[in-house]
Amino acid sequence: KNIVILISGRGSNMEAVVRALDAEGWPARIAAVISNKPEAGGLAFAQARGIPTAVVPSKSFATRAEFDAKLQETIDVFEPDLVVLAGFMRILTAPFVEHYAGRMLNIHPSLLPLFPGLHTHQQALDAGCTEHGATVHFVTAELDHGPAVLQARIPVLPGDTEATLATRLLVEEHKLYPRAVRLFVEDRLVVENGAVRIVEPGFDAISI
């Protein structure tokens, strides 16, 4: 399977997926890493591993529709079976999301449906949560919604700040996202009635 990963910054989740794929030998390859920011730190990691990279600078486009059209064209050169959003900080238009329906995943640093949007760690603290987490989900037109694939949970500890929560959660994200992407490339995710079912390896999901 061809995977295209979209990043905007550091790219540590992208790196975790690339490393897991290499270490575990998934039936997949990283076809490209694409950023909307030329200065994204993750681009250097991808280039060093010989992964093709591209930049579609969101700043250069007047409208979301024009940016998304160019992004889609750039992604589709690599014929992706799966598009992985890894810290890709853009709100996507409905036609773009529709084009990748059922084949685009995102990781969001909250226990969705709690706290969509930004500042999720602070939101969890402000709400007095005793538990926080991250969610990998299929991308649908509504921001940070869509069927959840896997979640990771961490306790909120006395004295936790936005920064300590983010740091502890990131460790879990780096395990969670590779697990979810692997399930996808092994054809083990079935979306039914807006929910994800994980099937056994080798199970023929189409026969039911």
Say which DSSP state 102 is in.
T
- For the bound state, the minimum distance from the C-beta of residue 12 to ligand GRF, rounded and expressed in Å, comes to 3
Q: Any binding-site annotation on 104? A: no
Q: Which residue is nearest to ligand GRF (CB)?
A: 87
Number of H-type helices and E-type strands within the chain = 6, 9
Q: Any binding-site annotation on 92? A: yes
- For the bound state, the minimum distance from the C-beta of residue 139 to ligand GRF, rounded and expressed in Å, comes to 12
Q: What is the distance between the alpha carbons of residues 99 and 13, in angstroms, rounded to a whole number?
A: 23
Task: Reply yes or no on whether 108 is catalytic.
Answer: yes
The DSSP annotation for 119-187 comes to -HHHHHHHTT-SEEEEEEEE--SSTT-S-EEEEEEEEPPTT--HHHHHHHHHHHHHHHHHHHHHHHHTT
- Give me 66's structure tokens: 């024009």
Q: Any binding-site annotation on 90? A: yes
Q: What is the distance between the alpha carbons of residues 173 and 184, in angstroms, rounded to a whole number?
A: 16
Residue of 99, 108, 145, 174 marked active site? 108
Q: Which residues here bind ligand GRF, judged by CB under 6 A?
A: 7, 9-13, 86-87, 107-109, 134, 170, 173
- For the bound state, the minimum distance from the C-beta of residue 121 to ligand GRF, rounded and expressed in Å, comes to 9
Q: Any binding-site annotation on 13? A: yes
Residues annotated catalytic, as ranges: 108
Binding positions are 11-13, 64, 89-92, 106
Binding positions for (6R)-10-formyltetrahydrofolate are 64, 89-92, 106
